[in-house]
Amino acid sequence: MLYQDLLNIQEEVSLDPKEKRIPSESAGNELAIGIPKERSQEEKRVSLIPSAIRTLIQKGHKVFVERGAGLESHYPDEDYTSNGAFIVYSQEELYNKSGLIVKILPPTEEECVLMKEKQVLISALNLGTLRKSFFKHLTEKKVTGIGFEYIETLAGDKPVVKVLSEIAGMMSIQIASRYLESDKRGRGILLGSIAGVPPATVVILGAGTVGESAARTALGTGAQVMILDKDITKLRQVEHNLNRQVVTAVSNQYYLNKAVRFADVLIGAISSRGERIPWIVTEEMVKSMKPGSVIIDISIDQGGCVETSRPTTPSNPVFMRHGVTHYCVPNINSLVSRTSSNALTNTLLPLILELGEFPDIHSALWKNLPLRNGAYLYKGYTTKKPLMDLYDIPFQEIELLLAGGI
């Protein structure tokens, strides 16, 4: 009987050799996902790589990719179409066809205008680069905004922030090494030591994921590393994780002044829960630094932790102030766009799949904690109080909005 079945199958294939579509798995909500080409701040990453598209298609979703969205990360359009995506040829077409927009950076003013009523947006927020008009556009259109910086699990983990922070920490040391060289107006020193010559001193402000990643990378070069943070628990943890190879100190005025003065490289790795970062390094402290030393202010996407910092771009990344090189590119991860796009996809794809398991955005936010934590805009309201304080816009707790059925 089995033999006869096999013969029947063989005959069917020989008579009808056409490809057959594999039935897709049912989804709670068929999403129309748009992946725009990034245009602001010379961004080179793409929010989802081609391999993620096949997974989304198999779950019953549609994916629209703007032409050339992945080229800067070496993912041609053909890689997307071969995995089931539709290529669209303009921003207008992409925003018109998509209910969910997945980006790297927040929309530009032009993109805000293109967004439709009650669309869902997932992207970074980068408070240090936004104006009130951004929130005005999106609240008027009752867009639901989910920010990378706010997505947080019950255990307190921030999956998107963590992976981007690890890359940023590694990149900061790679960049610092380059700008210490003489032809970049640096001190002309190596990070590591050779026999008879002491290593460079790397001072890191912040013992979070960025700081630990930067410290681990700097230690790998042979540099002398010091980490300052206000949180003793974090300092203990980073000492443990790095086998006590780093010097740690509480971030008070005495230790800050002393550390900044002796630093060859100063890494600003302060983070906050979706708020602007206060300056902890003043201009007077920068004046005390060694000529040719380097500041890498990774906190610049939240306003920066150094008073003399201001946002720069990948094509014009540095400026000199008081004889110190300042590197303040908000999207530092874009320099390794392919690695960053892969890492970001690994964290975003599960969240998008979970979003598709619910019939609407209200149900998704009500039942999924990380997505609910990530929401900073919902149907015309700001749902994070610091944003109300910064931009003077209407605020309401997300739980109250959802409980009220809004």
- Per run of 10 residues, the mean pLDDT along the chain (length 406 residues) is 40 36 53 96 95 96 97 97 97 97 95 95 87 91 95 93 95 97 96 93 96 97 97 96 96 96 97 79 97 96 93 94 96 95 97 95 96 94 88 89 88
Distance between CA atoms of residues 296 and 186, nearest Å:
13
Distance between CA atoms of residues 54 and 67, nearest Å:
18
Distance between CA atoms of residues 390 and 383, nearest Å:
13
Q: Domains of the chain: which residue ranges?
A: 24-157+336-403, 161-330
Which alpha helices (H) appear in 98-145, and where do they start and end? 109-114, 132-140
Helices 159-179 and 209-221 sit at what angle, rounded to 10 degrees? Answer: 40
Distance between CA atoms of residues 166 and 208, nearest Å:
10
Which alpha helices (H) appear in 199-325, and where do they start and end? 209-221, 232-241, 253-262, 283-287
Distance between CA atoms of residues 273 and 397, nearest Å:
16
Smallest CA-to-CA distance from 95 within 147, 149, 148, 138 is with 138
pTM of the model: 0.86
DSSP class of residue 274? S
Please report how many Cα atoms fall inside a 13 Å half-sphere around the Cα of residue 61, on the Cβ side. 27
Cα angle, residue 322 at apex, residues 167 and 326 outer, rounded to 5°: 15
pLDDT of residue 208: 94
Q: Which amino acid is at 79?
A: D
DSSP class of residue 63? E
DSSP class of residue 395? B
- 161-330 CATH choice from 3.40.50.720, 3.40.50.1220, 3.40.50.12280, 3.40.640.10: 3.40.50.720
As given in the structure block, the two tokens for residue 170 are: 């590694």
pLDDT of residue 29: 83
Coil, strand or helix at 347: helix
pLDDT of residue 14: 35
Q: Does this chain's domain 24-157+336-403 share its CATH topology with 161-330?
A: yes
What would the CATH number be for the domain defined by 24-157+336-403?
Answer: 3.40.50.720
Q: Residue 70, exposed/middle/buried by CB under 10 A (0-12, 13-18, 19+)?
A: buried
pLDDT of residue 28: 63
pLDDT of residue 274: 60
Distance between CA atoms of residues 189 and 200, nearest Å:
7
pLDDT of residue 386: 86
Distance between CA atoms of residues 36 and 92, nearest Å:
10
Distance between CA atoms of residues 277 and 299, nearest Å:
7
Distance between CA atoms of residues 297 and 281, nearest Å:
11
Distance between CA atoms of residues 338 and 349, nearest Å:
16
Distance between CA atoms of residues 406 and 143, nearest Å:
13
pLDDT of residue 276: 79
